[in-house]
Amino acid sequence: MAILNVTPDSFAEASNTVDPASAIDAALRMESDGADIIDIGGESTRPGATPVSAEQELARVLPVVRGLVGQLKIPIAVDTYKSLVARESVDAGAAVINDVSGFRYDPDLASSVAQSGVALVLMHSRGHSRDMYAQAVYDDVIEDVSRELEVSMKAAVDAGIAAERIIVDPGIGFAKRPSHSYGVLARLPELAAALNRPILVGPSRKSFLREAVGDRPALERDWGTAAAVAAAVLAGAHIVRVHAVAEMVQVVRVAEEIRRLQP
């Protein structure tokens, strides 16, 4: 899953894809580099980010989705927690809604996704971007994350979303200290066994990597990202969400070959 941020305040890349034409060109390059899904985000959800209105998010996202439909051969996901953005994006051609809130922010999102029939990513998080680290307290990170994702999954199924349409994301870096994020990666098979759904992992360029690689800026964390991506694939992740597509495709392909031969 290739990350395509159409925001002026992305933590992990230069903001050169806000213009729809530039974003469309970038998405086409990502597909050529080997991406299987393009994930378009119109609001930064990094810790401390300022929320934007649904109207502003739509103004950023919809021209890109519409411009890519018919050009891309791979599915388009939209990274949003707002029901209005989800509905309009699906109408424009998106095939996946990626919700960082796990249905905690917008009570209408579950029904919007249910009516649309598209695939759904439910990510684990706590709080909002400005206060999430205050809630990074766990008795057992895998048990707690699994239990809270089960709540999100139940809300989805109760709204009429088939379980087969759901992908779960443990939320690396969201309401998690570095030790929690590394713990999730180390114990990913336990999460997969507990939830019995495909797992998406998004470690790309995140701040938890600094615990191992030092205080490097986000754009210099691709080697650390590569290690986390390899670990995730070897642990059974079905999807990895990344910025540096061409490089991480190589990492994934090698890790897949290793995993294929594991006893």
**Which residues are marked as active site?**
206, 241
- Which pairing describes strands 96-99 and 166-169: parallel, antiparallel, or unpaired? unpaired
From CA 152, how far away is CA 110, in angstroms rounded? 10
Enter the tokens of residue 100: 């960082």
Cα separation, 86 vs 80, whole angstroms: 7
- Per DSSP, helices labelled H in 93-237 are 109-116, 141-158, 178-186, 188-195, 210-213, 222-234
Distance from C-alpha of 176 to C-alpha of 229, rounded to nearest angstrom: 18
> In whole angstroms, what is the distance from residue 147 CA to residue 142 CA?
8
